[in-house]
Chain A
Amino acid sequence: MIKKVISLILCLLALTGFSACSDSTAVGTKNKITTYTLKNWYSISEGNSIWNYNKHCKDSDKMIEIVEFETEEELKNKLSTELMSGKGPDLISADCLSAAGISYEKLIDQGCFVDINEVIKADTSQDQLNLSDYNEKALQSGVINGKRYFIPFYFMPNFCVASQQELEKYINADTKSLSYNDIIKINDKINEEKSDKVISSNADGYIWSYVYDNVDFINKTYNFDGEFSSTAEKLKELKGTGDKIKEELLQEFVISPYQIYEYCAEIEKYGETARIIGKPSIDTDVLSAQMCGIYFINKNSAKKQDILEFIKYALSEKEQNDVAGTDIEKYDNTTSYYDGSYFPVNKKSYKSLMNNAKKLKYLDDTIKISNESVEQLENILAQISDFQFSQSTNYMTEVGSELISDYVDGKISISMFVEDLKTKTKIYMEE
């Protein structure tokens, strides 16, 4: 009897299952340009450019639809399957790829992205994109193996600001940028002084940059031999500020030039000279910056020319002025954080930004910046030659992060750390 009842219930459930199959829901409108992202993940540059473009765009067919996903797994599986089977979103941002955990360099190898030079050539509209209007070195970083895969919209220089006199106490500060050995020397001397100083609030992140700097994704090489072990051992000891407020030797996290000037002026208030120097890197003659607003065009997309309109809009002088904040009149570090963000790639915008910085009122005119600092900044900005992707690539998340955390926490020894790094990086590169 009981068995009969149970069998009946099971049959009913099966029937409901079959009936539930009949309705299938459609997803998204197929007219618009689509791009994928993870919920609540977007950075300022990515979110703003698309929203502003949608507001500016009058033709609703040309607007960009942002499809949001709840989890990383979903985004990753969806994106890979669709790209492999010949579909996928039209616009793919580098941020979306980091969120999904997919390596951009491997996609470039597979030829998933369109050569933007071709799209520019095929453009028949009135205002053409003239590449010489923009920072050549930044645009050059989008060219890999002769094809242009993206045009970065903004960049953030990897600079630190420090007082020249303080810095000279520890190292011979003639180079354009600091080296990791310099950092180690500074750390040793600060420890000898037993003062309450820290190198910078971000000092415990230097080991991550060190590992990242030693890997070249485009040429598929890595270097964990030689002095890697000894340097890594010393970098592990660095501590950031944590919760306490301590005196920092180097100021980092520069976002807008206004912030740099503010730090310079603070230093000059105490009668010292400001010095702008590159963040720690392996090659001290090269200054680097991080690119923002990197968008790839899917090879399978049918709307390449429409996406070119979006790129033109994002690179236009007006939009870049808005985002970089070239028209603001006052700068107060507690309220003006988002008024000026990122350095623009558009040359005219860039000039306006620099000019505005000289005229700006800082903290209600209580801070004055000397001409020498202004000239120093302009000089050093012009010397940036290496434009990089951000550190949150798939390699660092999958391979690097667990190993580095384990090493810093003391769970594995240095020799095991180096060995594991080597094997896993080899597996990652050659897959």
Chain B
Amino acid sequence: MTRKRKDYLTAFLFVLPSLIGIAIFYVVPYIICIIKSLYIGQEFVGLINYIQLFSNNTFILALKNTVIFTVVAIPLLMIISFLIALFLNSFKKILSFFRSAFLIPVVVPVASLICVWQVVFDDYGAINGLLNTLGIDTVEFFSSEFSMGMIIFIYVWKYCGFCVILFTAGLANVPKSLYEGAKLDGANSFQLVTKVTIPMITPTTFFVFLIEIIYSFKIFREVFALFGNYPNEHIYFLQNFINNNYYNLNYPRLSSASIILSVFIIIILLVFFIFERKHSFSE
């Protein structure tokens, strides 16, 4: 056996346990889901489920809300955590307490914080109290467009810590020599950040983006705990749609909606992947 073939075999053996597990528990169910989405009951109907889905107003509403949330929350979280990572880095010495503090929101379970959110965001809660003393009208966080804002706030609050840690790791990987070289060339701090830091941490950014998408689905748990199965129309997400159809036993609709959701994400991923390929420096 040639050396290369032997290498291939070893690599394959390393990956084997993972491959088997993934095949059984993830790939096969996904394929089953795709197949089932092409059926209604027992008969094969092709793409009718998808066409029906797009003419369904509730689905369009859910899709719109999910897109708005994704497009707003993910970049926002990325920018905020990046800035905080830069900020923390600018301290020469920092108590590890401060770094740990950011990780605590991730660790706390959802249910315990529901009450806290209710007290803070309620019509007569803390934030409205503050706004009223400043002369602004009461904002009904629970039943208006600002519900989306509240959910975005909770999302950013919860996962900022983890993204900060990832960005800190990525920032530490940028060689100091590049910074010194740029400073010698006369760059000010703003140019340092934009021309040196951001391109160098592109793989980290990609990874943070991935993590954020995963967690943007998990935020559904908070929405469910705060609002139940039928939240108001501004925060009715695709996950609500899928979940409710689960209890309506409408499996064809549920699977076609999930497939559309995953296709949507795959497209975004492809764009980012190609982007990373072009600008990757650490290959």
Contact = CB atoms under 8 A, between A and B. Distances in A.
The reply, when asked whether chain A contacts chain B directly with Cβ atoms under 8 A, is: yes
Interface of A: 76, 80, 83-84, 101-103, 106-107, 109-112, 398-399, 402, 412, 416, 420, 423-424, 426-428, 430-431
Contacts of A431: 58, 241, 244-245, 248, 250
A112 B248 contact: no
A399 B236 CA distance: 13
B230 A76 contact: no
A399 B232 CA distance: 10
A272 B56 CA distance: 57
B228 A398 contact: yes
B244 A110 contact: no
Contacts of B57: 426, 430
A314 B256 CA distance: 42
Contacts of A80: 246-247, 249
A28 B232 CA distance: 41
B230 A398 contact: yes
Given A426-B58, A430-B58, A110 B248 contact: yes
Nearest to A422: B233
A427 B61 contact: yes
A84 B251 contact: yes
Given A109-B250, A431-B58, A431-B241, 5 more contacts: A80-B246, A84-B246, A84-B249, A402-B228, A430-B57
Contacts of A430: 56-58
Contacts of A107: 248-249
Contacts of B262: none
B249 A428 contact: no
Interface string B247-283: 1111100000000000000000000000000000000
A11 B57 CA distance: 53
6 contacts: A84-B246, A84-B251, A110-B248, A110-B249, A427-B58, A430-B58
Interface of B: 41, 56-58, 61, 143, 228-230, 232-233, 236, 241, 244-251
Specify which of B41, B229, B249, B251 lies most central, judged by the most chain A CB atoms within 10 Å of its CB: B249
Nearest to A424: B230
A431 B243 CA distance: 10
A402 B250 CA distance: 25
A399 to B, nearest CB: 5
B248 A423 contact: no
A245 to B, nearest CB: 37
B251 A420 contact: no
A230 to B, nearest CB: 23
Contacts of B236: 427
Contact of B249 (A106, A416, A423, A424): A106
A101 B58 contact: no
Main secondary structure of the interface of A (DSSP, over half): helix
A423 B233 contact: yes
B247 A427 contact: no
A76 B248 CA distance: 11
B157 to A, nearest CB: 26
A416 B123 CA distance: 15
Q: List the 10 closest pairs (A to B, CB-CB), nearest first.
A: A106-B248, A430-B58, A423-B233, A110-B249, A427-B58, A84-B251, A80-B247, A431-B58, A424-B230, A398-B229
A408 B124 CA distance: 19
A109 B251 CA distance: 12
B55 to A, nearest CB: 10
A402 B229 CA distance: 12
Contact of A110 (B56, B58, B250): B250
A423 B236 CA distance: 11
A427 B228 contact: no
A229 B31 CA distance: 49
Contacts of A424: 230, 232-233
Given A106-B249, A106-B250, A107-B249, A427 B233 contact: yes
Nearest to B234: A423
Contacts of A109: 250
Nearest to B57: A430
A102 B248 CA distance: 7
A83 B249 contact: yes
Nearest to A102: B247
Contacts of B249: 80, 83-84, 102, 106-107, 110, 112
Contact of A103 (B58, B230, B248): B248
Nearest to B62: A427
Contacts of B56: 430
A215 to B, nearest CB: 14
A398 B248 CA distance: 13
Nearest to B253: A431
B249 to A, nearest CB: 5
Contacts of A416: 143
Contacts of B61: 427
Nearest to A88: B249
A39 to B, nearest CB: 20
Contacts of B245: 431
